[in-house]
């Protein structure tokens, strides 16, 4: 969601974007995640490039080149230096990890854990369905259902989860076709098997330490390989709503 939103804003002319990350991001859809810049130094999603930086002041030079800086800063301490007009909490932790309405002139929270008018100015609905991407100016998003969105008639079956605590290993690449029951990789010697046949749309980085039950992959039964390297319709919709919130706040007379 964060990368989709950043791309939407960037294409709309908002070039002064700073993305903050953890030291070891756990993205599954790595081909469309700017967090890969933390590992690779730079990454490109749909023609928009993100580059890793080590200090907040380095962001200014990248903005002049219309690049998106990515900074390892899980506690957002860089906010004191950058002093942003807008803060978007797109962690999707299903709970508020410390974001406050006083952090910036406009504070937006994605999904459950935020209350518009209390700890953020706006909440954006992230649950698939009729209200997906709805901008909420008072109240909360729908509670976390714990059930992944329905894609091609499948929900929980399409998600790969770690069977144990340990290090994930795999020699498969995102984008390959897999069969139901096929071993995708292992964690602590235990197999990770596909619950449906389809395209391996997302996979956590091999050699990553994971915990039991963590989402580590995603099989798309629609078998469209181009979906692996393009932003999802959900992320595009949510990114559009972030743009709506920004314009609504700062275009007020």
Number of independent structural domains in the chain: 2
- Same structural domain for residues 9 and 116? yes
pLDDT in tens, 113-133: 999 999 999 999 999 999 999
Per the CB < 8 A criterion, the answer to whether 206 and 185 are in contact is yes
Quote the tokens at residue 78. 């860089």
Q: Are residues 134 and 165 in the same domain?
A: no
**pLDDT tens digits, residue range 135-165?**
999 999 999 888 888 888 988 999 999 999 9
The percent of residues in the chain predicted with pLDDT above 70, rounded, is 100
Residue 80 pLDDT class (50, 70, 90 cuts): confident
Residue 150 inside a domain? The answer is no
- Same domain for 68 and 13, yes or no, is yes
Q: Exposed (0-12), middle (13-18) or buried (19+): which is 162, by Cβ within 10 Å?
A: buried
SS3 178: strand
130 and 186 part of one domain: no
Same-domain status, 112 and 13: yes
Mean pLDDT of the chain: 96
Whether 127 maps to a domain, the answer reads yes
Domain co-membership, 190 together with 122: no
- The number of beta carbons lying within 10 Å of the beta carbon of residue 131 is 12
Query: Within 13 Å, how many C-alpha atoms sit on residue 150's CB side?
Result: 2
Check whether residue 18 and residue 139 sit in a common domain.
Answer: yes
224, pLDDT greater than 70: yes
Tens digit of pLDDT for each residue in 82-109? 999 999 999 999 999 999 999 999 999 9
| Dihedral, CA of residue 94, residue 231, residue 174 and residue 162, to nearest 10 | 10
Tell me: pLDDT of 37 over 80. Answer: yes
| Same domain as 180, residue 117 | no
Structure tokens of 181? 């029951």
Please say whether the beta carbons of 3 and 235 come within 8 A.
Answer: yes
Domain with 198 in it: 156-221
d(CA 116, CA 121): 5
Q: Do 37 and 130 have their domain in common? A: yes
Q: How far is CA 42 from CA 34, 48, 78, in A?
A: 8, 11, 20
* 26 and 106 both lie in a single domain: yes
C-alpha R_g of the chain: 18
pTM of the full predicted structure? Answer: 0.94
Domain annotation covers residue 214: yes
């Amino acid at each position: 969601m964060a990368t989709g939103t950043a791309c939407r804003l960037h294409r709309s002319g908002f070039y002064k974007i700073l993305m903050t990350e953890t030291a070891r991001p756990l993205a599954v859809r790595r081909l469309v995640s700017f967090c890969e810049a933390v590992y690779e130094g730079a990454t490109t999603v749909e023609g928009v490039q993100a580059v890793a930086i080590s200090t907040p002041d380095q962001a200014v030079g990248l903005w002049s080149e219309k690049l998106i800086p990515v900074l390892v800063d899980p506690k957002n301490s860089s906010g004191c230096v950058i002093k942003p007009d807008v803060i978007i909490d797109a962690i999707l932790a299903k709970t508020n990890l410390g974001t406050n309405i006083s952090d910036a002139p406009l504070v937006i929270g994605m999904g459950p854990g935020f209350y518009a008018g209390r700890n953020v100015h706006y909440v954006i609905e992230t649950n698939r369905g009729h209200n997906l991407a709805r901008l909420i100016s008072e109240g909360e998003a729908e509670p976390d259902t714990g059930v992944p969105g329905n894609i091609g008639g499948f929900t929980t079956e399409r998600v790969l989860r770690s069977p144990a605590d340990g290090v994930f290993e795999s020699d498969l690449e995102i984008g390959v076709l897999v069969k139901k029951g096929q071993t995708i990789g292992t964690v602590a010697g235990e197999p990770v098997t596909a619950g449906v046949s389809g395209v391996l749309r997302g996979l956590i980085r091999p050699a990553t330490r994971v915990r039991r039950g963590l989402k580590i992959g995603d099989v798309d039964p629609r078998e469209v390989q181009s979906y692996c390297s393009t932003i999802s319709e959900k992320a595009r919709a949510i990114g559009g709503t972030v743009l709506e919130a920004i314009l609504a706040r700062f275009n007020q007379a």
